[in-house]
Chain A
């Protein structure tokens, strides 16, 4: 069972993501912001990280940078959940080392199909 770390400061988004992914048989750990996600990532091994871009304390871009600096997460797929489909924010995410992005609003089906693209 693949383990997924999902970081979002919005409780409703976390609930939706967790509900969808657990329903599809993934093991999901939630994080409320970048700092929380980073510490959970360090203490656990995840096959995929999903992260919101705009979060308090540490945003998604910073989180990706920090994760990529960890040996365990050098090659791990990291997907950004973003409402910002504009090129500049995406480039910032890419530069930081994100694998790809899912543009909000998305529905559970899209989330799953995107995740299945990355995880076999």
Chain B
């Protein structure tokens, strides 16, 4: 039989990444002064599982590398080597290396082994230096596996064939052998599979019937095995019982006795049997030559997983609770369906009330089910937060700052896709806070603050949104410094009047670097504007509260999911469109005196001293509208990337949640549209992408604003 092991790879990768996370957080909490054996055990277990799985599923490279890590951890666990910071750092580095190796393997690409090879050497040096470790099971394992060579297997009493001799075996099991689940009969039967067996039962150990314990074995056996096999093969049959049984194996020829093996010798030869089995265990490729040469099979192993892992599918781990609640709801749905079915079977007007009740129940079931299905995609933000303790520790070390990280609301859930995309912006903001926000210990003390800076990541739900706050007690953002920089970079005019808040928010403007010395960590002015754009792509917002000398707080607000949108439905000719509710500022009926036309084409409306260009949506999408005049219909003012535009439409309809269907996958990508949805009556409504729309009409608007500036 042949089982394709690649089907288990995905689960292996996921649990390995989880294991690495466990190792990482465990290592970060480990302090060499007060070592908790439970913590070491947890870290060890995670490494151990990765090694075992990697070996089983054919990732020899990972398994070999983890082996050295595990060896060090085992010494820590056994207490044979004191835990040192340099050792912990080395293991932390190995976590990164392992993660990279596994990511490469998961992606199906050939892993870069330079880092792992180098680190492995470091481990070997580290392990050979300082305390000489007690002979542990691991070193034994290694050395014995080196001992196994085909020559050695052949060097044993040669398999001359049954006619020239036989194995003479004396098998005296311990009395309580059956209490370990081992049966002498099974062992003898197994021997008989190797060749012809002749057995004599010995009864001289049998006690008096009255003192006989039926759960003990008093019999023993003399066995002659006529088989052309090596001693190792015979020993393998006794592998599990040899330690507490007396097993003598002799090769007997007609002329002479070739070998006498006593229990002590079997101990040592048994050692070489087991790694031999391991070497065979590596050969999981069906078409591979199964020669018993560990070196060779390992070489071919290194290239093998690359082929197997190429088919990668994304998956998500869902707690049983969520699935149970879904199953519950399906159950209720079935009940509602059968109830409605019954009403429909022989319907009469007097059942109208029950029909309405049933439909209401159906509506509720559907809504609950929708929420419940959405919850499946939701994962706790701790998956993202968990990378920060390490990051903060490393960066603080590099910057020579003292920083205490506090994580709050780690169990707050959000959509998996949103979470994956918010990770990098968060990292950037945290780096920014550490680099530019929190001061050096000396500066802090000089300002009467504790030497250790405080960095807090907090997540919580608010309405249909998740809010993530990054706050520090650093020096804050000085509006005057920003002002100087902005004038220098030509972002604002020298006499431009801006509030402190407006000035501070300029850090989200492309091309503004506030740090006086650009560090290699963050801040070449390519940072915060990219962060803001990423957040906007997720239909989210970011705001800033900062006080000079007291610190800064960044508040990111993201929709819980990207697959549902709070939409404003609107009519344009015969078509219905959807605008994201979050992008709408207001909707107005335009009066004649509000409108002026600039640069020939574009209309501009004046809205509270602000000029807002108006785009006729029917022109963009080439639709025959009901109203062509701006004064009929409605102008919806929307905003994207700090740019306001008015959209002229025929009418506003209801506001409702819509499920976004991708145009890319169902049709093709269209500029200005982010997707489509299916409305209650079955018609398709297109969802307007404001940022994309701005791209289409951008040139026109730019001309307009230039014209506006020259006009004023």
Residues of A within 8 A of B (CB): 9-13, 15-16, 19-20, 23-24, 54-56, 68, 74-78, 83-91, 94, 97-101, 103-110, 112, 117-118
In the complex, whether B442 has a CB less than 8 A from a CB of chain A is: no
Ordered by A's residue number, 27 sampled pairs between the chains whose C-beta atoms are within 8 Å are: A9-B45, A10-B49, A10-B53, A11-B15, A12-B53, A12-B57, A16-B56, A24-B1, A56-B45, A76-B181, A78-B180, A83-B48, A83-B51, A83-B52, A85-B137, A86-B136, A86-B138, A86-B140, A87-B140, A91-B243, A97-B181, A101-B240, A105-B52, A105-B57, A107-B281, A110-B281, A118-B181
Given A11-B15, A103-B274, 20 more contacts at CB 8 Å? A12-B15, A13-B52, A13-B56, A20-B3, A54-B49, A56-B42, A74-B179, A77-B181, A94-B180, A94-B240, A94-B243, A99-B182, A100-B182, A100-B239, A104-B55, A104-B281, A105-B54, A106-B56, A107-B281, A110-B277
Contact of A12 with B180 in the complex, beta carbons under 8 Å:
no
Contact of A85 with B180 in the complex, beta carbons under 8 Å:
no
Contact of A99 with B281 in the complex, beta carbons under 8 Å:
no
Contact of B186 with A118 in the complex, beta carbons under 8 Å:
yes
**Within 8 Å CB of B136, what residues of A?**
86
Cα(A19)–Cα(B1), bound, Å:
12
Contact of B52 with A100 in the complex, beta carbons under 8 Å:
no
Q: Which 3 A-B pairs have the closest CB atoms?
A: A86-B137, A105-B55, A100-B240
Contact of B45 with A85 in the complex, beta carbons under 8 Å:
no
Contact with A along B37-70 (1 / 0, CB 8 A): 0000010110011011111110000010000000
User: A85-B141, A108-B1, A108-B3 given as contacts; is B48 within 8 A of A13 (CB)?
Assistant: no
Give the nearest-CB partner of B187 in chain A. A117
Minimal beta-carbon separation of A115 from chain B (angstroms):
12
In the complex, whether B347 has a CB less than 8 A from a CB of chain A is: no
Contact of B179 with A75 in the complex, beta carbons under 8 Å:
yes
Query: Considering only CB atoms and an 8 Å cut-off, how many residues of chain B contact the other chain?
Result: 51
Give the nearest-CB partner of B45 in chain A. A54
**Within 8 Å CB of B537, what residues of A?**
none
**Within 8 Å CB of B141, what residues of A?**
84-86
Contact of B49 with A85 in the complex, beta carbons under 8 Å:
no
Minimal beta-carbon separation of A16 from chain B (angstroms):
5
Give the nearest-CB partner of A99 in chain B. B181
**Within 8 Å CB of A117, what residues of B?**
186, 190
**Within 8 Å CB of A19, what residues of B?**
3, 7-8
Question: How many pairs, one residue from A and one from B, have CB atoms within 8 Å of each other in the complex?
Answer: 129
The winner among A89, A104, A112 for most chain B CB atoms within 10 A is: A104
**Within 8 Å CB of A112, what residues of B?**
1
User: A104-B55, A110-B281, A117-B190 given as contacts; is B48 within 8 A of A16 (CB)?
Assistant: no
Give the nearest-CB partner of B215 in chain A. A74
User: A83-B55, A118-B186 given as contacts; is B275 within 8 A of A23 (CB)?
Assistant: no
In the complex, whether B550 has a CB less than 8 A from a CB of chain A is: no
Contact of B1 with A103 in the complex, beta carbons under 8 Å:
no
Residues of B within 8 A of A (CB): 1-3, 5, 7-9, 11-12, 14-15, 42, 44-45, 48-49, 51-57, 63, 136-138, 140-141, 178-182, 186, 190, 215, 239-240, 243-244, 271, 274-275, 277-278, 280-284
Contact of A105 with B281 in the complex, beta carbons under 8 Å:
yes
The winner among B9, B14, B52 for most chain A CB atoms within 10 A is: B52
Minimal beta-carbon separation of A54 from chain B (angstroms):
5
Cα(A54)–Cα(B140), bound, Å:
19
**Within 8 Å CB of B48, what residues of A?**
54, 83
Contact of A23 with B181 in the complex, beta carbons under 8 Å:
no
Minimal beta-carbon separation of B278 from chain A (angstroms):
6
Task: From B138, B180, B181, B281, give the contact of A106 (CB < 8 A).
Answer: B281
**Within 8 Å CB of B52, what residues of A?**
10, 13, 83, 104-105
**Within 8 Å CB of B137, what residues of A?**
84-89
Contact of A109 with B1 in the complex, beta carbons under 8 Å:
yes
Give the nearest-CB partner of B275 in chain A. A85
Give the nearest-CB partner of A86 in chain B. B137
**Within 8 Å CB of A55, what residues of B?**
45
**Within 8 Å CB of B57, what residues of A?**
12, 16, 105
User: A85-B141, A103-B277 given as contacts; is B49 within 8 A of A97 (CB)?
Assistant: no
Contact of B244 with A94 in the complex, beta carbons under 8 Å:
yes
Cα(A100)–Cα(B270), bound, Å:
14
Task: From A77, A86, A97, A105, give the contact of B56 (CB < 8 A).
Answer: A105
Cα(A103)–Cα(B356), bound, Å:
64
Cα(A55)–Cα(B42), bound, Å:
9
The winner among A10, A13, A19, A91 for most chain B CB atoms within 10 A is: A10
**Within 8 Å CB of A90, what residues of B?**
243
Cα(A97)–Cα(B138), bound, Å:
23
The winner among A11, A13, A84, A107 for most chain B CB atoms within 10 A is: A107
The winner among A86, A88, A118 for most chain B CB atoms within 10 A is: A86
User: A85-B275, A103-B281 given as contacts; is B53 within 8 A of A68 (CB)?
Assistant: no
Minimal beta-carbon separation of B105 from chain A (angstroms):
13
**Within 8 Å CB of A23, what residues of B?**
1, 3
Cα(A86)–Cα(B42), bound, Å:
20
Task: From A56, A83, A84, A99, give the contact of B180 (CB < 8 A).
Answer: A99
**Within 8 Å CB of B179, what residues of A?**
68, 74-75, 97
**Within 8 Å CB of B282, what residues of A?**
105
Minimal beta-carbon separation of B347 from chain A (angstroms):
48
**Within 8 Å CB of B53, what residues of A?**
10, 12-13
Cα(A83)–Cα(B283), bound, Å:
16
Cα(A64)–Cα(B79), bound, Å:
26
Contact of A11 with B240 in the complex, beta carbons under 8 Å:
no
**Within 8 Å CB of B15, what residues of A?**
10-12
Cα(A106)–Cα(B45), bound, Å:
19
